[in-house]
Homo-oligomer: A and B are copies of this chain.
Amino acid sequence: MIASPKNIDAVKKYTAVRNHSLAICAPLEIEDYVVQPIVDVSPPKWHLGHTTWFFETFILLPNFPGYTVFDPQYNFVFNSYYETIGARVIRTDRGNLSRPSVSEVYRYRKYVDEQMEIFLQSEHMKQALEPLLELGLNHEQQHQELLLTDIKYILGHNPLFPAYTKEKSPEAEISKASGMIPFSEGIYEIGFQGDGFCFDNELGRHKVFLHDFEIANHPVTNGEYLEFMEAGGYHDFKHWHAEGWDWVKENKAESPLYWHSIDGKWMQYTLYGLQELDLEQTLCHINFYEASAYASWKGMRLPTEAEWEVASDHFNWGNRWEWTGSAYLPYTGFKKEAGAVGEYNGKFMINQMVLRGASEATPSGHSRNTYRNFFHARLQWQFTGIRLAR
């Protein structure tokens, strides 16, 4: 069979996305792939295996006749937290598993990739499978961002502060002429429309009524946040949610994640090592409680996700995931898809907050202004920032 150009494109795209995961891991030592310092961080080798397991389980196994799974045990290792051997259950945590080794996981990826390339060019690759392939690739891209955030956490919590890379990545230019952009009240539409890929949680484009609002044309900088700190922001409960204040006290929080006050100078762990804090740079690694307290201190608030989406064409975004004041809930008309893929987003729609935009860790091509990212209010380890509204 001669592959159609379309299929060749699919192979190219598949290969490009899959290779990017390997490129992200290239600077790692084998040991870096294995550890899990906190429950929110997964070992890099787990990310590599889990994304591969997705293609094996949802595409190859049900659709490619004669496909042999690489290792039947991997279903336990790369999916669930429970392992069964005969009648006995062993609980394993991702961070306790030295095996399969990194080289085995790479063999697993190679095996699945080779099979996928054959499959994609075969008659078995029906058009009906395209959305699932698309989902698998977007799933891998989500994990590429998590790979970077998790690697940063692993290296940034090592007392030797090893650098991930020698090169400093250039940061997007911040508008010098900062200010607020006004919008008038009225009915607006939000939610995905068009042809490309989106996640199920973006669907159901719908109308919302917004009152007059203003939104900042730039995200908050390190220098601006330092003013809040120096004004005693971490020591005045007035600006904090009650559970945010509990978080401050329990963790003795005094600054964003990765900031260290060393000999009276603020340093920041970055992917290129421990650096002096740059006051002009965009603030990063704050949680919702901090974002919200800062906004309160400024006499403003965070934008809702609808405000953000409506306004997003009027400012530059993409450097930080921006906390919104919206809880992560289903859009009017949200529908779970049938089967295991239906679990993708809906089951997380409780007690998390929406973030909009993208970050320096987001793979290129994996952002759009309808994208609904979401995390728990206490989490700092993503590349998160603040945009004010009022």
Contact = CB atoms under 8 A, between A and B. Distances in A.
Contacts of A97: 35, 158-159
B333 A241 contact: no
Contacts of A326: 329
A109 B37 CA distance: 26
A99 B29 contact: yes
A309 to B, nearest CB: 15
A29 B95 CA distance: 16
Contacts of A34: 31, 34-35, 98
Interface in A321-352: 325-327, 329-330, 332-333, 347-351
A1 interface: no
Contact of A86 (B76, B261, B348): B261
B154 A242 contact: no
A211 interface: yes
Nearest to A91: B157
Nearest to A296: B336
B260 A88 contact: yes
Interface stretch (A6-14, A122-130, A202-210, A223-231): A202-210
A4 interface: no
A376 B149 CA distance: 30
Contact of A29 (B37, B98, B301): B98
Identical copies in the complex: 4
A162 to B, nearest CB: 5
Interface string A239-272: 0111111000000000000001111000000000
Contact of A37 (B93, B160, B206): B93
Contacts of A288: 350
Contact of A209 (B33, B209, B330): B209
A150 to B, nearest CB: 11
Interface residues of A, number: 72
Contacts of A347: 240-242, 245
A187 interface: yes
Nearest to A332: B211
A241 B327 contact: no
Nearest to A377: B350
Given A34-B31, A98-B29, A100-B160, A85 B209 contact: no
Interface string A144-168: 0000000000110111111000000
B211 A85 contact: no
A31 to B, nearest CB: 4
Contacts of A242: 347-348
A2 interface: no
Given A92-B157, A96-B158, 11 more contacts: A31-B33, A31-B99, A31-B101, A34-B98, A35-B35, A90-B159, A95-B95, A185-B207, A325-B330, A350-B353, A351-B351
Shortest 6 CB-CB distances between A and B: which pairs? A86-B262, A327-B327, A83-B159, A37-B96, A209-B209, A31-B98
18 contacts: A29-B98, A30-B31, A31-B45, A31-B98, A35-B96, A35-B98, A73-B160, A85-B159, A85-B161, A86-B260, A87-B263, A88-B261, A90-B159, A95-B95, A99-B155, A289-B350, A292-B350, A327-B329
